[in-house]
């Protein structure tokens, strides 16, 4: 298992950037043996491992607010560590964590980013157009002239003629982006993994919207897994 302090030092490498509107939880795991020991954790350090300061601030803020709403005391990594945390000495990390009474750490990191290019074929459709009038289409041919079949409709208001137009739209290429995220809860004293949750985000675009969606999904799943108790409204 990776040491949690080593994971914190990877903050500049992880690439949680922009997020989108379509997400799902793909899996979760709970250390039943450790959780069953009823360890009384006092405070959780929330650390988003991202090279994007905007993403780090947004997601940490949302997770912190949600944790507070669920009655979980917490502190954000940005509140005690500089954004360039990889330049901080490991011993200072340990000291800071202890100084702020954190006995558990929840990290969020980007595992993988995949982009696929897909071709969307064009379409061709027939769009009729109509108009009133007394004239109609007349066609000449090898067998003599003729009016378009069905070219006239009789109505109380006179003749109604019609013709059609073929409309085509060209094909085009589109990029589909998928982000794979993982959240891990560690015991800060033993580095033991207590809980892990994986999620997928499709076609990310707006970090604020996506962060809110991610936070809601994560805490609802944690409550479902019995890791936390859902607050009474």
The more confident residue out of 192 and 130 is: 192
Whether 193 and 167 have beta carbons less than 8 Å apart is answered as no
pLDDT value of position 65: 97
pLDDT tops 80 at residue 224: yes
**Does residue 130 share a domain with residue 70?**
no
Q: Does the CA dihedral 94-100-104-106 come out positive or negative?
A: negative
**Does residue 187 share a domain with residue 93?**
yes
pLDDT tops 80 at residue 45: yes
**Does residue 82 share a domain with residue 131?**
no
Q: Residue 232 domain-assigned?
A: no
**3-state DSSP of 125-162:** EEEEEEEECCCCCEECCCCCCEECCCCEEEECCEEEEE
Of 25-29, 36-40, 83-87, the range with the lowest mean pLDDT is 83-87
**Does residue 128 share a domain with residue 107?**
no
**Does residue 82 share a domain with residue 56?**
yes
Q: Residue 229 domain-assigned?
A: no
State what percent of residues in the chain have pLDDT above 90: 40
**Does residue 89 share a domain with residue 138?**
no
The more confident residue out of 4 and 86 is: 86
Q: Residue 200's CB: how many other CB atoms inside 10 A?
A: 17
pTM over 0.85: no
| Overall domain count for the chain | 2
pLDDT value of position 16: 41
Using pLDDT thresholds of 50, 70 and 90, give the confidence band for residue 85: low
Q: Which domain covers residue 157, as residue numbers?
A: 123-169
**Does residue 153 share a domain with residue 209?**
no
**Does residue 11 share a domain with residue 106?**
yes
Q: Residue 20 domain-assigned?
A: yes
pLDDT value of position 4: 37
Using pLDDT thresholds of 50, 70 and 90, give the confidence band for residue 127: low
The more confident residue out of 46 and 170 is: 46
Q: What is the largest CA-CA distance in the chain?
A: 99
Q: Residue 184 domain-assigned?
A: yes
Q: Residue 138 domain-assigned?
A: yes
Using pLDDT thresholds of 50, 70 and 90, give the confidence band for residue 229: confident
pLDDT value of position 116: 78
The more confident residue out of 36 and 232 is: 36
**Does residue 199 share a domain with residue 142?**
no
Q: Residue 230 domain-assigned?
A: no
- The 3-state DSSP class for residue 185 equals strand
- Alpha-helical runs (H) found in 3-72: 4-8, 32-35, 53-69
- The 3-state DSSP class for residue 105 equals strand
pLDDT value of position 46: 96
Query: What's the rounded Cα separation, in Å, for the pair 124 and 126?
Result: 7
| 58-94-16 Cα angle (round to 5) | 25
Using pLDDT thresholds of 50, 70 and 90, give the confidence band for residue 152: very low
Mean pLDDT of 36-58: 89
pLDDT value of position 107: 93
**Does residue 142 share a domain with residue 161?**
yes
**Does residue 196 share a domain with residue 157?**
no
pLDDT value of position 69: 94
Mean pLDDT of 186-192: 89
**Does residue 155 share a domain with residue 40?**
no
- The 3-state DSSP class for residue 13 equals coil
CATH number at residue 104: 3.40.50
Q: Angle 207-224/53-69 helices, nearest 10 degrees?
A: 40
Using pLDDT thresholds of 50, 70 and 90, give the confidence band for residue 132: very low
- The 3-state DSSP class for residue 211 equals helix
The more confident residue out of 12 and 91 is: 91
Tokens read off for 41: 């954790």
Query: What's the rounded Cα separation, in Å, for the pair 112 and 124?
Result: 38
Q: Residue 145 domain-assigned?
A: yes
Mean pLDDT of 128-146: 43
């Amino acid at each position: 298992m990776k040491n949690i302090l080593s994971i914190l030092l990877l903050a500049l490498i992880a690439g949680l950037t922009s997020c989108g509107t379509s997400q799902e939880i793909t899996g979760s795991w709970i250390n039943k043996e450790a959780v069953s020991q009823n360890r009384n954790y006092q405070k959780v350090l929330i650390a988003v491992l991202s090279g994007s300061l905007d993403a780090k601030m947004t997601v940490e803020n949302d997770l912190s607010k949600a944790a507070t709403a669920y009655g979980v005391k917490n502190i954000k990594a940005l509140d005690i560590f500089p954004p360039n945390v990889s330049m901080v000495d490991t011993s200072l990390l340990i000291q800071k964590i202890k100084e702020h009474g954190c006995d558990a750490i929840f990290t969020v990191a980007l595992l993988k980013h995949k982009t696929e290019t897909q071709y969307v074929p064009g379409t061709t459709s027939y769009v009729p157009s109509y108009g009133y009038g007394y004239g109609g289409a007349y066609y000449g041919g090898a067998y003599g002239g003729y009016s378009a079949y069905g070219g006239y409709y009789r109505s109380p208001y006179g003749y109604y003629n019609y013709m059609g137009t073929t409309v085509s739209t060209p094909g085009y290429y589109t990029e589909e982006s998928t982000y794979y995220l993982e959240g891990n809860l560690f015991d800060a004293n033993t580095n033991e993994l207590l809980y892990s949750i994986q999620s997928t985000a499709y076609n990310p675009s707006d970090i604020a919207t996506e962060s809110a969606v991610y936070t809601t999904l994560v805490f609802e799943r944690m409550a479902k897994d019995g890791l936390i108790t859902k607050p009474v409204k």
